[in-house]
Amino acid sequence: MLTFWNRLRRTTRSTSTPSPFGETPERRGLVITVCFLISVLIWFSFTMQERYPNELEMPVRVVNLPPDQALRSLPPDRVRLRVEAEGFQLLRLRYNPPSLMLDASRPEINLAEQARMQLPNDVRIEAVTPQAVTLVTEPRLQRRIPIALRAHLEPPPSYVLLETYIDPDSVTISGAESLVRDLTTWPTVQVVRSGVMDTLRMTVPLSDTLAPLIERSPESTLLTAIALPFTGAERRLPVQIEGAPTSEQIVDLEQNTVLVQYSVLLSDYEASLTSDEFEVTVSYDQIRSDTTGRVTPQVHLPPGLSIRNVRVIPPTLGYYNVLIEN
């Protein structure tokens, strides 16, 4: 495919005899091309000096806000203007528009007047939307509140999520008093992860729902989640009656052992099967106050072992009183 220059050169190439001035056809084609470009440039220059109507958007920026004051609500982030100006001015304003400065010391601001002060004199403003804004300020309040983690972490079927924590666990917020005083926590963005194994560490941004009305520091927190493999296990344990008089046996259970099923951290499996501190008890006071004839045994787990999802079979035990003959 021929380029523009090749097409133009071929179009302007002459098959006639050389010029009496010694010019070749190629040179004549180059001269014509340059003249054509100069004419386009002149046409563009005169065209851009004409005045045209157009619509522009100017970004808004609040200035002169005292450090001890904060905005209660945000002004519009952009103002739409319908203007008339020379083409060059319109190009400059469209691709590099100046910011419309809103002075916080003036609560009521006429945007048309403000735009006239900032735009060049030869730019005629025909309409401004919105026409005015009101800046509402309040005393600034700073507090430190807890961070609320919003996370759904799902480990594989054989793993259990043991621990989840964030660092830092609180955030310093600063803003208008009416916005800050009733906040009790600041949420993170929603985090969803599946297949969490071993140790997960990730930076979680804080929610920016109220930004930039409320400033926050820091703007993120480090989430650490630990998920380790668990396995199922079971033990048959004797049931002890706690608190009964030691001098004589006055109550007995319908069975002296129960089956305890549980999930245990894989590395704690062997220790859970041999620990002497794995106990099942029934309180004598519970038996005395019972009116149903059955009591629920309590499981005491060994310290230092990660055991969960404990199930006792049977879940309740019957009992009977032992008659003592004199």
Strand partners, 213: none
Q: Are residues 317 and 236 in the same domain?
A: yes
Using an 8 Å Cβ cutoff, are 279 and 260 in contact? no
Q: Are residues 267 and 291 in the same domain?
A: yes
Q: Are residues 168 and 219 in the same domain?
A: yes
pLDDT at residue 164, as a whole number: 95
Closest by CA position to 65, among listed 97, 100, 107: 107
Number of folded domains in the chain? 4
Tell me which DSSP letter residue 267 carries.
G
What are 301-311's pLDDT values in tens digits? Answer: 999 999 999 99
Coil vs helix vs strand at 187: strand
What are 249-285's pLDDT values in tens digits? Answer: 677 888 999 999 999 999 999 999 999 999 999 988 8
pLDDT at residue 242, as a whole number: 87
End-to-end CA distance of the chain: 121
pLDDT at residue 41, as a whole number: 66
Q: What is the mean pLDDT of the chain?
A: 84
Q: Considering the domain boundaries, does residue 184 fall inside one?
A: yes
pLDDT at residue 90, as a whole number: 75
Q: Considering the domain boundaries, does residue 289 fall inside one?
A: yes
pLDDT at residue 86, as a whole number: 72
pLDDT at residue 15, as a whole number: 46
Q: Considering the domain boundaries, does residue 326 fall inside one?
A: no
What are 102-143's pLDDT values in tens digits? Answer: 888 887 888 888 888 878 777 778 888 888 888 999 999 999
Q: Are residues 236 and 308 in the same domain?
A: yes
DSSP letter string, 27-89:
HHHHHHHHHHHHHHHHHHHHHHTSEEEEEEEEEEEEE---TTEEESSPPPSEEEEEEEEEHHH
Q: Considering the domain boundaries, does residue 37 fall inside one?
A: yes
Could you give the CA distance from residue 158 to residue 39 in angstroms, rounded to a whole number? Answer: 78
Q: Considering the domain boundaries, does residue 264 fall inside one?
A: yes
- Which domain does 268 fall in, by range? 231-321
Q: Are residues 238 and 262 in the same domain?
A: yes
Q: Considering the domain boundaries, does residue 110 fall inside one?
A: yes
Q: Are residues 150 and 171 in the same domain?
A: yes
Tell me which DSSP letter residue 121 carries.
T
pTM beyond cutoff 0.75: no
Using an 8 Å Cβ cutoff, are 317 and 237 in contact? no
Q: Assess whether pLDDT exceeds 60 at residue 3.
A: no
